[in-house]
Structure 1
């Protein structure tokens, strides 16, 4: 069952991102929002983890949060709130990593 995983917490405070990446299925997607977009910072270990996770076309980041934190990334596709809703309807299940 394809799942959209949503992470909003900083990847530097706990291991949510690592746990999520271990559980991602081949049809699952990941949306980073809030402080989780810091995972996309150039040169960070979390950026390297995301690059090696094989998430081409399945890694998204909320554009508003990228802009608020002055982060740019070619690794994740920036999406607005409308696209977030569309993504959540596209996948069978949405799992928020609280």
Structure 2
């Protein structure tokens, strides 16, 4: 069963991102929101880890949070708004929020 993993905490404060990436299965996706979008800062270990995800793993970011933190994304990351977030939640078999 494919899972959408939702991360909202900074990757620099704890190991949630690392734990999430370790548990990703085939067909899973990652959605970064809140302070988790800081994982997309170029040159950081979290960004490098995200860049090494298998090609089949989709990576999303909540556009509102990206803009609030004045960050830019690479070509692999897909920006989504809140309606698209809801659609993603319905598209996957499970949603796992890394609280």
TM-score (norm 1): 0.96
Structure 1: unaligned runs, 5 residues or longer: none
State the alpha-carbon separation in 1 of the partners of residues 64 and 81 from structure 2. 7
Q: Which residue of 2 aligns with 1:68?
A: 68
SS at the partner of 1:66? helix
SS at match of 2:71: coil
1:1-98 superposed matches below 5 A: 1-55=1-55, 58-74=58-74, 75-98=76-99
Q: Deviations over 1:33-71 (max 9, x none)?
A: 000000000111110000012255610000000000001
- Give the Cα separation in 2 of the matches to 1:56 and 1:76: 12
- Looking at structure 1, the residues matched to 53 and 90 of structure 2 have their Cα atoms a distance apart, in angstroms, of 23
Runs of 4 or more consecutive aligned structure 1 residues displaced over 3 Å after TM superposition: none
Q: Which stretches in structure 2 are left out of the alignment for 5+ residues?
A: none
Contact map agreement 1:10 1:36 (CA 8 A) in 2: yes
Using the size of structure 2 for normalisation, the TM-score is: 0.95
Q: CA RMSD in A?
A: 1.1
Aligned length: 98
